[in-house]
Amino acid sequence: MDKIKMTVPLVEMDGDEMTRVLWKWVKEILISPYVELKTEYYDLSIQNRDATDDRVTCDAGNACLKYGVGVKCATITPNAQRLEEFKLKRLYPSPNATIRAIMDGTVFRAPILTKGITPLVPTWTSPIVIARHAYGDVYKAVEIKAKGGVATLACDGEERQIFDFGSDSGILQAQHNTDKSIVSFATSCFEYALSEKKDLWFSTKDTISKVYDHRFKDIFQEIYDTKYKKAFEDNGIEYFYTLIDDAVARVMRSRGGFIWALKNYDGDVMSDMVATAFGSLAMMTSVLVSPSGAYEYEAAHGTVTRHYRKYQAGESTSTNSVATLFSWTGALKKRGELDGNAELVRFATDIENSTICTIENGEMTGDLAGLFCREGVSVKRLNSKEFLEAIARNYEKNCLK
């Protein structure tokens, strides 16, 4: 069999611990046997970030912008304990935050659904993708413990009284955001909705926050009307704004199948709720989309340190590689779309379907085995490598003739 050829390289960002092990196996077992893989490789392991003074992370982010598609393995975000463990020169920032800043992107988190793993909300039969604005608001707020007196908000000659505490003590907080960041957020959301051909919902509390949240609503509407309305209509998808309370109620009653854009705090909270309701963190993918239309794919989970310790001790682990595998197929599919490489798109889609079919027929890793329930199907708990091999068998049986 001839391997599928690629014309433009993928930006490949390797990572740490258990996910670095899965990364290698995913490539060995499910990609390299079928694709003449072309990548520009960046080693984002904590050791190499330290050796390069984190230069490698910036280079990788810039490469994503240059080539348009990247795939990233989970990485350690160092804390005091990691500083000691790896004898690091300093506490490096989260690679995800660095890459997000370079790409000026928005993160979309999408669950992978299979029969046999029922969401806690039974009507959610299609994925709900959460888009979280990752700049400003409470995450960049300035806070004061007031001991009394008059609090004012002032900027560039304009001043407003916030509250007269008198002799009471209290608390104060000032939030900000920038039009530029909101424009990037909105643009990434519209781009991604078009790329996925899914409806886009956006919700804030604009009835109460008549200046702050209202600005978000206005910017989204203006960009939609001037730049995306026609393309949305041509693709049969919809942009829909509603108050956040109404959105929450509608989401609970919905069947899923849309993208839900949220401000920073709302997205932080709602993404954890939605992820939990869909089942397992190991079945959640994440894609960073820049307003210029560059894509970086990854799993939403971390490096699974607890499993890695067992692996280091020579034990076999049943770590779930689905989100890591889908970051590869997502990236290959996007590369294929951009390059007009139908074979590559088909391959990535076939691997995804083979993965879902493997689980639906009862072969899965331990985290899913506890959740899975499907009439007539008995569950076989596999270790990490056996699971990937089972997918390869199904792929060869069903997709290669």
Binding stretches for ligand NAP (CB under 6 A): 74-77, 96, 281-282, 298, 301-306, 319-320, 367
Q: Coil, helix or strand for 204?
A: strand
Site residues (CB under 5 A) for Mg ion, limited to 356-395: none
Q: Among residues 52 and 77, whose Cβ is nearest to ligand NAP?
A: 77
Comparing CA positions, the residue from 9, 6, 7 lying closest to residue 66 is: 9
Task: For Mg ion, give the closer residue by CB, 41 or 139.
Answer: 139
Q: Are 68 and 291 in contact (CB under 8 A)?
A: no
Give whichever of 75 and 184 is closer to ligand NAP, judged by the CB atom.
Answer: 75
Dihedrals phi, psi of 32, to nearest 5 degrees: -60, -30
Phi/psi of residue 153, each to 5°? -115, 125
Residues 28, 272, 306, 373: which binds Mg ion (CB under 5 A)?
Answer: 272
Query: Could you identify the residue written with the tokens 């109460």?
Result: 208
Q: Find which of Mg ion, ligand NAP, none residue 209 binds, CB within 5 to 8 Å per kind.
A: none
Task: Give least dist CB 281 to Mg ion, A.
Answer: 12
- 139 binds Mg ion per the rule CB under 5 A: no
DSSP 3-state of 144: strand
Nearer to ligand NAP, 284 or 344 (CB): 284
190 close to 224: Cβ distance less than 8 angstroms = yes
359 binds, among Mg ion, ligand NAP, none (CB under 5 to 8 A by kind): none
Count of chain residues binding Mg ion (CB under 5 A): 2
Contact criterion met (CB below 8 Å) for 294 and 69: yes
Which partner from the list Mg ion, ligand NAP, none does 218 bind, CB cut-off 5 to 8 Å by kind? none
Token couple for 366: 């331990």
Instruction: Name the minimum Å distance from CB 71 to ligand NAP.
Output: 12
**Alpha-carbon span 127 to 158, nearest angstrom:** 45
Contact 367, 322 (CB under 8 A): no
Q: Which does 204 bind (CB under 5 to 8 A by kind): ligand NAP, Mg ion, none?
A: none
281 binds, among ligand NAP, Mg ion, none (CB under 5 to 8 A by kind): ligand NAP
Partners of 286 in the β-ladder: 109, 298
CB of 272 to Mg ion, least distance (A): 5
| From candidates 40, 59, 199, 268, binder to Mg ion by CB under 5 A | 268
Give residue number: closest CB to ligand NAP: 302
C-beta of residue 368 within 8 angstroms of C-beta of residue 284 = no
Residue 268 contact partner, candidates Mg ion, ligand NAP, none, CB within 5 to 8 A by sort of partner: Mg ion
Report in angstroms how near the CB of residue 274 gets to Mg ion at its nearest: 11
CB of 301 to Mg ion, least distance (A): 13
Q: Across 55-169, where does the E strand assignment appear?
A: 69-72, 106-111, 128-132, 142-146, 150-155, 158-164
Partner from Mg ion, ligand NAP, none binding residue 187, C-beta < 5-8 Å depending on class: none
- Indicate the residue among 123 and 305 with the shorter CB distance to ligand NAP: 305
Q: Comparing C-alpha atoms, which of 114, 112, 31, 71 is closest to residue 392? A: 31
Give the β-pairing of 199-204 and 170-174: unpaired
Q: Which parts of this chain interact with Mg ion (CB under 5 A)?
A: 268, 272
